[in-house]
Amino acid sequence: MEKRKKIVVVGGSAAGPKAAAKARRIDSNAEVIMLQKNAELSMASCGYPYYVGGFFDNRDMLLSNPAGITRDPVYFKNAKDIDARVNTEVTAVDKNRHMVFFRNTITGETGEMTYDKLIIATGATPLMPPIPGIELEGITTLQSLQDADFLRKIGDDGEVKKAVIVGGGLIGVETSEALQLADIEITIIELVPQLLTFLDWELAKLVENHVRSKGANVITDNGVAAFLGKDGKLTAVKLRNGTESPCELAVVAIGVRPNVKLARDIGLTIGATGGIEVNAYMQTSDPDIYAVGDCVESVNRLTGKKVFAPYGDLANLQGRVAGENAVLGNCVTFPGTIQTGICKVFDYAAGSTGLSEFTAKRLEYPDIITVINASLDKPGFMGGKLLVTKLVADRKTGKILGAQCVGPGNVAKQIAQWSMAIQGNLSVEDIVNADLPYAPPYSLAIDHCIATAHVMQNKMKGRMTGISSMDVHQKLANNEKPFLLDVREPGEYRQMRLGVGETLIPVGALRSRLHELPQDKNIEIICFCQVALRGYEAALVLKHNGWKNVKVMEGGVASWPFPREK
Amino acid sequence: MEKRKKIVVVGGSAAGPKAAAKARRIDSNAEVIMLQKNAELSMASCGYPYYVGGFFDNRDMLLSNPAGITRDPVYFKNAKDIDARVNTEVTAVDKNRHMVFFRNTITGETGEMTYDKLIIATGATPLMPPIPGIELEGITTLQSLQDADFLRKIGDDGEVKKAVIVGGGLIGVETSEALQLADIEITIIELVPQLLTFLDWELAKLVENHVRSKGANVITDNGVAAFLGKDGKLTAVKLRNGTESPCELAVVAIGVRPNVKLARDIGLTIGATGGIEVNAYMQTSDPDIYAVGDCVESVNRLTGKKVFAPYGDLANLQGRVAGENAVLGNCVTFPGTIQTGICKVFDYAAGSTGLSEFTAKRLEYPDIITVINASLDKPGFMGGKLLVTKLVADRKTGKILGAQCVGPGNVAKQIAQWSMAIQGNLSVEDIVNADLPYAPPYSLAIDHCIATAHVMQNKMKGRMTGISSMDVHQKLANNEKPFLLDVREPGEYRQMRLGVGETLIPVGALRSRLHELPQDKNIEIICFCQVALRGYEAALVLKHNGWKNVKVMEGGVASWPFPREK
């Protein structure tokens, strides 16, 4: 009889169980063992913020399969024929002897076993700032189920009144919403000048405005200098600029770093990003050791560069690849990531796929072009909600490099569309005439993403000269005096307006009121409307009538990230 | 001074106004005239069913731009500099003299004008069955705003108790929902054996089951032989099988045909599909005449064949292309359609993109492979809802040829993803490791579309032998005796089960209860679970233990289209 392959998986959260299950399904003969440091297995950790926020009350749902069976060692044994051992920390690996050494974290008992193939899925660890007071009671992360239990209890108890969220990334904003729903006053503190750095500044600012509108405080461009306490308990955070923010709770969410201690001890190559280096087979520098999930680095498919991309969905996909290769020999590959992500932020969603303008510039992409577009996600009569998208493309080829989208509308669908478009190597030209599912309950007749491509095409063909709201704001700050032309209707203006010295002439009246414009045809005129189209139409009217320096403010009033008069 | 180009557009609903507006924007000098037979312009006709159904009450929203301005001739003049004339029917065109002849449908006044380029957007006309009683009062279509007004009034008045919908296509089911919401008892009568022929039978059947669950009657495989009446008013429809269905209202929705009378009179080439033949520039057989929207035929991008595809979104895109070409000369092309569509059916959506299995077989695609997969659209703890997808691919290359999806879940996002994937020429292999936006409020960690690709890959690699629910049902009808193994939990079985002689052994107990299975290792065993994964795992366990003829019923209990015991 053929020797049974012995596959040992280190880690039992997301990528590990997926690798183990795939190995088992591919090779019914193999011995599959999974060693998990924690007490739980296959925790739906991306769901923690929603458990904390009370979107659901049954904690077991985080630990159960869809049929309601808890994913514990008995389940893994019976349903999957996987020997899953919890509370079992791997302390060392001898790669030459193919040995794993482990220790039970409860009993202290130690053990060892051999492996044919080892799969490392040790995940990531929250970063903790090395600042005074970090040991105070009342400071936590939201990384483990225990963290989730702790925060949920705080919400249920209703005693904590003020909380500080340190870090305005994805976990930070998700946690903010969760605690805000428990009537806790939230202050988010972010070191860089914006929340959610996967977005460019102006879209992040729209999200920030929304977060503020929900009553949360946001402090950007500032860090925590110290946690202050009394009797060992947190009472406030002290910011770098000296101000103090009282709070009884602080959630640290400044990011995670790949947990590579074991890999480093083994002598595996660690990449420049800090993650374990793997090839397309998810194989480490040791051919008998694979690594998957938040502890590895990935390839960005657009740039070819290594990135640290700790996304739950990729962890699962990588697990499948490693599981199959571990039992069959290298036969399937993981193509890498385009860094697609999304998060819920109160009534908004914020998502991104591919490269932001910031990232593209940092990577010195030679010739990119961007556009911002806003529209409803479906018709107004069907209750359509706003979407604001920023598209990044290669100017010469039109190839789509990235898209970001924020707003109360169906952001997930937009980002899903753009991510498939990028993976299909599509260009702006392809999206201009894309065939997407249209019916009024689901989209506009010209879907938001197609309309965005239309505006981009107008820019690329030189028919529209766009200007960003940031550049307009900067001109005003510099005391330049462009003529600002709001071409919306009076009713729209009464409801919501910039109040930066603009002149209101509805586009329908423009042709008969041209005498109200500056008669110097070289003066800079910046047209805008609520979102996009009317501003463009107005610019065309002006150009046709001889004005030479006419621009359209992209995204209109709806995407203006700065304070408005109304 | 350069001569102004004169662009005349015939038709003012969707494609026409878009063509006119695009022509105007590209060429500010051009004279753009739009002749519209109806009293209204730019009607959001896809919104009619939702106005009838009371999703909104303000009828003006169907006729207004997002700022609330009615799209009437004054609006077109002021905002777009387009000379739009309503109640103006084009009676003839002399293509040699470049002349258009028209008549005011109210005053009877006639007129003529020249054109440089003509754009025909005459739309489509509802088909009416040539059967007795068709002239009775109480028989209508849902094509015009007047139809919508008529049906909305019926709903508001509350006097009609029973209505028959003749035709179970997209408009038929949308209208059914609208009238059902007005507490009218609905009977849908469809000539072919299923609703929504863009779906394959088994998915259409799931939709039909849902429609029935909402209290509507569905009669398939039967047609209307006559409308019966009293005093000139409809009282019943008589079916081909002789039964009579009493009703005070009948809505005929058996499809539309391209309105090509004018084109035919001009002498333009009409294609085999019945639509006006156009090239990729949307140009007819006369180089100075373009045609767009529901009156033309399109190219299916997958098959290269001409199809009649009257979709509102494509009409708009074609309009843009024709508008630009009309003023600049042929410079932009419309690539055709992959026939992406979606509709709301009560709490379900039903969508499709690319080819169905039925269509692929009709077109004699040599070697296709299909799979049905079911899952939630997001985690159960976030209130995930069911999606059932059928994927069609080329067996050799894995190239995706089509996808259909139905259910209460987020079908629109699934179809949007698949349609982009098809337009990007992606294969099953590409989707297997796709990078899509994941967060619990929006999707599963492994999105439904990726999971569907995983199942397809298992079939393509020969790891899973699938069998459709239809084939299982047929075997039972043929009195074959496959061993049917339901591997769900007892609780799931109590709640919902097929009751076709299956044996229940939960997958977690299977390894220890193998003795309960037929000991003849050649007997056919068909495993299934609620959706997909556990049935597959069970099949692997059985194969590993020597059973040789093991299949997995695709889509599980959730996708079973036939009556269930419970």
Is B183 exposed, middle or buried (CB count within 10 Å of its CB: 0-12, 13-18, 19+)?
exposed
**SS3 label, residue B370:** strand
Cβ contact B46–A439 (<8 Å): yes
Q: B393-424 pLDDT, tens per residue?
A: 999 999 999 999 999 999 999 999 999 999 99
Closest residue in B to A440 (Cα–Cα): B47
ipTM over the 0.95 cut-off:
yes
Check if CATH label 1.10.260.40 holds for domain B139-254: no
pLDDT score recorded for residue B433: 98
Average pLDDT rounded to a whole number, residues A271-281:
98
State the count of interchain CB pairs (< 8 A) between A and B: 285
pLDDT score recorded for residue B430: 98
Interface probe for B, chosen from A381, A417, A527, A550 (most Cβ of B below 10 Å), is: A381
Measure in Å the smallest separation between the Cα of B241 and chain A Cα atoms: 35
Cβ contact A540–B25 (<8 Å): yes
The shortest CB-CB distance from B433 to any of A46, A334, A430 is to: A334
The shortest CB-CB distance from B440 to any of A29, A47, A463 is to: A47
Measure in Å the smallest separation between the Cα of B51 and chain A Cα atoms: 9
The shortest CB-CB distance from A50 to any of B28, B381, B536 is to: B381
- Asked if B268 and B262 count as a contact pair (C-beta separation under 8 A), the reply is no
Q: What is the residue-wise DSSP string for B498-559? A: --SS-EE--HHHHTT-GGGS-S-TTSEEEEE-SSSHHHHHHHHHHHHTT--EEEEETTTGGG
pLDDT band at B1 (very low <50, low <70, confident <90, very high): low
Q: B261-303 pLDDT, tens per residue?
A: 999 999 999 999 999 999 999 999 999 999 999 999 999 999 9
pLDDT score recorded for residue B494: 96
Cβ contact A410–B415 (<8 Å): no
The shortest CB-CB distance from B424 to any of A56, A339, A421 is to: A421
Measure in Å the smallest separation between the Cα of A34 and chain B Cα atoms: 18
Neighbouring residues of A189: CB distance < 8 A, sequence distance ≥ 6 = A164, A165, A166, A167, A168, A219, A222, A223, A224, A237, A239, A245
pLDDT score recorded for residue B136: 97
Q: Is the pLDDT of residue A205 over 70?
A: yes
Q: Is the pLDDT of residue A324 over 80?
A: yes
Q: Is the pLDDT of residue A2 over 80?
A: no
Neighbouring residues of A541: CB distance < 8 A, sequence distance ≥ 6 = A507, A510, A511, B28, B81
What kind and span of H or E run contains A187? strand A185-189
Topology alike, domains B6-124+257-328 and B347-460: yes
Q: A24-36 pLDDT, tens per residue?
A: 999 999 999 999 9
Q: Is the pLDDT of residue A1 over 60?
A: no
Average pLDDT rounded to a whole number, residues A59-86:
95
pLDDT score recorded for residue A66: 83
Closest residue in B to A63 (Cα–Cα): B381
The order of strands in the sheet holding B386-394 is: B341-345, B348-354, B400-407, B386-394, B368-376
Q: A451-498 pLDDT, tens per residue?
A: 999 999 999 999 999 999 999 999 999 999 999 999 999 999 999 999
Cβ contact A420–B417 (<8 Å): yes
Q: Is the pLDDT of residue A80 over 80?
A: yes
Measure in Å the smallest separation between the Cα of B327 and chain A Cα atoms: 15
The order of strands in the sheet holding A117-120 is: A83-85, A31-35, A6-10, A117-120, A289-291
Q: Is the pTM of this model over 0.95?
A: yes
Counts of helices then strands in chain A (DSSP H, E): 16, 30
Neighbouring residues of B397: CB distance < 8 A, sequence distance ≥ 6 = B427
B514 CB neighbours in chain A (<8 A) are none
- Angstrom distance (rounded) from CA B411 to CA B428: 19
Q: Is the pLDDT of residue B2 over 70?
A: no
B379 CB neighbours in chain A (<8 A) are 44, 47, 61
Q: Cα B374–B379–B381 angle (5° rounding)?
A: 135
In the DSSP assignment, the letter for residue A215 is T
Is A366 exposed, middle or buried (CB count within 10 Å of its CB: 0-12, 13-18, 19+)?
exposed
Cβ contact B446–A316 (<8 Å): yes
Measure in Å the smallest separation between the Cα of A249 and chain B Cα atoms: 25
Q: What is the CATH number of domain A347-460?
A: 3.50.50.60
pLDDT score recorded for residue B309: 96
pLDDT score recorded for residue A500: 96
Measure in Å the smallest separation between the Cα of B228 and chain A Cα atoms: 34
Cβ contact A382–B47 (<8 Å): yes
Measure in Å the smallest separation between the Cα of B475 and chain A Cα atoms: 28
The shortest CB-CB distance from A433 to any of B55, B317, B420 is to: B317
User: May I ask the CATH architecture of the domain A466-559?
Assistant: 3-Layer(aba) Sandwich (3.40)
- Asked if B87 and B37 count as a contact pair (C-beta separation under 8 A), the reply is yes
pLDDT score recorded for residue A67: 86
- Asked if B43 and B13 count as a contact pair (C-beta separation under 8 A), the reply is yes
**C-alpha to C-alpha distances, B121 to B87, B262, B438, nearest whole angstrom:** 15, 10, 42
Domain B6-124+257-328, what fold? FAD/NAD(P)-binding domain (3.50.50)
pLDDT band at B4 (very low <50, low <70, confident <90, very high): very high
Q: B91-133 pLDDT, tens per residue?
A: 999 999 999 999 999 999 999 999 999 999 999 999 999 999 9
* In chain B, domain spans: 6-124+257-328, 139-254, 347-460, 466-559
Least Cα distance to B393 among B382, B404, B383, B385 occurs for B404
Measure in Å the smallest separation between the Cα of B396 and chain A Cα atoms: 17
Q: pLDDT averaged over chain B? A: 97
Cβ contact B437–A415 (<8 Å): yes
Cβ contact B417–A416 (<8 Å): yes
Interface probe for A, chosen from B74, B174, B438 (most Cβ of A below 10 Å), is: B438
B50 CB neighbours in chain A (<8 A) are 381-382, 440-441
Q: B208-233 pLDDT, tens per residue?
A: 999 999 999 999 999 999 999 999 99
Closest residue in B to A56 (Cα–Cα): B381
Cβ contact A412–B25 (<8 Å): no
Measure in Å the smallest separation between the Cα of B47 and chain A Cα atoms: 6
Cβ contact B439–A46 (<8 Å): yes
Between B448-460 and B411-423, two packed helices, what is the crossing angle to 10 degrees?
60
A437 CB neighbours in chain B (<8 A) are 340-342, 351, 353, 412, 415-416, 419
φ/ψ of residue B367, rounded to 5: -145, 80
Q: What is the CATH number of domain A6-123+257-328?
A: 3.50.50.60
Closest residue in A to B346 (Cα–Cα): A441
The shortest CB-CB distance from B380 to any of A61, A79, A353 is to: A61
Cβ contact B420–A426 (<8 Å): yes
Interface probe for A, chosen from B317, B433, B496 (most Cβ of A below 10 Å), is: B433
